[in-house]
Structure formats: structure tokens, C-alpha cells
Amino acid sequence: MGCRTEPNTACGLNPRASLNRRKCGAVPAAPRLLAPSCAPSARLLLQKVTKTHRFSAVLRGQTNPRGALLLVTNPPTVPTGAPIVVVNGLIKQFGRFAALRGVTTEFGAGKFYAILGDNGAGKTTLLRGLAGLAHPTRGTISILGKTPQEACRDLGYMAHPSLLYDEMSGMENLRYVARLYGIAGDERCQQVIRAVGLDADLGRPVGQYSQGMRQRMSLARAILHDPTILLLDEPFSNVDVHSAREMAGLLKHMRDAGKTIFVVTHQASLLEGVADEFIWMQAGQIVNRTAQLDPLPPPAEKA
């Protein structure tokens, strides 16, 4: 026994509506059916997603043939709040320019971190360091007790560019990424595409997507392998306010399901009430960590 859901075809739409839906890439509202045998975290996620926004449409695609909820298939094993990412004396230099200047900090599991700061503060470099894309000049990064490269299966990374091939459709892109992570079949790809509010059957190449759709597909790419830690660089840039709130809502629900989420953003207000902690960076250092969104970051301390 697992979660029950209506088949995709029973959406109650007429053919014209279905055609329109396909053209715009959006997905219609979905029924809310949940079996008692679902995992508690999964049930919580499913219920919250259903209540809040049009991402509720994803529910139709969130069940496997047996009916088990799959959006979060890999419940984190680290207790909430326990250190999951440990950064020690991290320095990153590009030539003579130091992008990170001795960052030492810890991040707890199951928390939502918003990384804020001016341009050039080192936010993206820190995120790339956590993703294993920027190698430390000095210092160490430990993720679940491993190096970022060793922990790559536990990391989902969304960069400022989309990391998608413009010439391929969203489904083709995700299918390729799924093979890189050893995920067989299309079911998971369809689930995450629906989870971000897009249509898995949309055949248009990504290059013809709107910026908002591209950002959503990029998020789908990041969550495809159900990582424990999500690293998102500017996920709300060039996205309309409504869609950005929906994305923030989805991330909040993923945090509630036990994921650790890092979001680099200039739109901090979107994460007010969503993020557990706001991390302020300035001149390559973390200068403050606050539970509430302060109007202004504190001045940088001299090293």
C-alpha cells in the first residue's frame, strides 16, 4: 500500500484547455489524495505543498506506479541542527584577489540558510566551494564528514546560469542528468518537473523558455537526485514575485522534509519567515548570522 492518486488523464480538462496548458508550460491543479502509509515527512511535504500554491499540481506526478511519494525519497540521516557542513579557515584567492578571507563556520542539518551580501562579498565563491567547484587556496570544507567531491551525491547545485542545454527540452535535459546520477527511467524526471510547476510533456527546447521557466527547470535539475543539501545561487533572479514566492514555498517544504538549504540571494525579503538564518557576508568574510532579516548588515570587521 502507498499513496493513492488519480491517473494523469483524469484531470478534468477539455482538450483545448489541455492544449493551452501545454503551450504555457503550466500544470493544472491536482487532487489531494494521501495514503496513511506514507512516511511522515513525505506526508507533511505533500500536505503543505497541496495547501499553499499552484505547485499543488505536482501531486499528480509525485507518486510512483505503486503509489509511494517520491519527491523526497532520501530522508536525511543527520539529526536536525547537528553540524552537516563545517568550514574551517577557508581562503580562496583568484590571483592576488582574495574572494574568501578565512571563513570558519558550521551549518546545521535541516536548516534553511540565506546568504546575503553585496556584489563581490564572496557569496557565490562560498557556494561554489561547498559544491566542490572552487578549490580552497587554504582551509577545509567538510560535508557530512567528507570533502565536497566525495559528498557530491548529497549535494544539489543550482548556479546562476541554468546548467541546461538550450537545444534540448527540459525533459531531455533532466533525462541526461538522471543518467549521470544513475537514475533509471523517466518517472523521477517527470516528478521533479511537475514539482516546480512545469509540464513534463513540454517539448520546447530550454532556449525558448522564459527566464522564470528556465529558473524552475534549473531548480528541478538540482533536486532531481534528491540531495540532502541544496546549494542555490540566485534562484529568484529574473523571476516574477509570484513565482519567486512559490519557489521559496517549495524550498521551505523541502527544508521541512529535512533538507539543508543554502540560498544566495539579493532578494532577502522573499525568504523572511522562510529562512532559519540569514548569513551576512562582506569582503570575503561572514560578518553576522541572524535569525531575523535585519534591515542592514553590520559593518565588516577588520581582519
Partner 1 sequence: MNFWPIMLATLAKDIRLEWRSKDALNAMLFFSLLVVVIFVFSFDPLAEESRHIVGGLVWVAFLFAAVVALNQTWARELRNQVLDGYRVSPAPATALFVAKALGNFIFVSVLEALMAPLFVVFYNLHVLGPAWQLIPVALLGTWALVVNGTFFAAMSLRTRSRELMLPLLLFPVSIPAVVAMVAATTNILTGENSAHFYIVLLLTYDVVFTTACLGLFETVLQAE
Binding site for partner 1 (CB under 8 A): 131-135, 152-153, 155, 157, 159, 161-168, 172, 176-177, 179-182, 205, 221
Task: Indicate the length of the chain as a whole number.
Answer: 303
Nearest to 151 by CA among 140, 162, 160, 161: 140
Nearest to 129 by CA among 188, 85, 73: 85
CB of 108 to partner 1, least distance (A): 22
Q: Which is nearer to partner 1, 101 or 153 (CB)?
A: 153
Nearest to 2 by CA among 26, 35, 29, 28: 35
CB of 157 to partner 1, least distance (A): 5
CB of 249 to partner 1, least distance (A): 25
Spatial distance between the Cα atoms of 99 and 125, rounded to a whole number of angstroms: 7
Q: End-to-end distance of the chain based on CA atoms, in angstroms?
A: 59
CB of 170 to partner 1, least distance (A): 13
Q: Which is nearer to partner 1, 167 or 301 (CB)?
A: 167
Q: Which is nearer to partner 1, 26 or 152 (CB)?
A: 152
Q: What is the DSSP letter of 163?
A: -
CB of 131 to partner 1, least distance (A): 5
Q: Which is nearer to partner 1, 32 or 94 (CB)?
A: 94
Nearest to 65 by CA among 18, 8, 130, 110: 8
Inter-CA distances, 170 with 72, 97, 109, 186, 259, Å: 20, 37, 30, 12, 24
CB of 97 to partner 1, least distance (A): 14
Contact between residue 67 and residue 61 where contact means Cβ atoms under 8 Å apart: no
Spatial distance between the Cα atoms of 182 and 199, rounded to a whole number of angstroms: 23
Q: Which is nearer to partner 1, 184 or 303 (CB)?
A: 184
Residue with cell 536536525: 80
Q: Which is nearer to partner 1, 63 or 260 (CB)?
A: 260
Contact between residue 196 and residue 251 where contact means Cβ atoms under 8 Å apart: no
- Cβ neighbour number for residue 49 with a 10 Å cutoff: 25
Q: Which is nearer to partner 1, 60 or 214 (CB)?
A: 214
CB of 120 to partner 1, least distance (A): 18
Nearest to 211 by CA among 186, 247, 178: 247
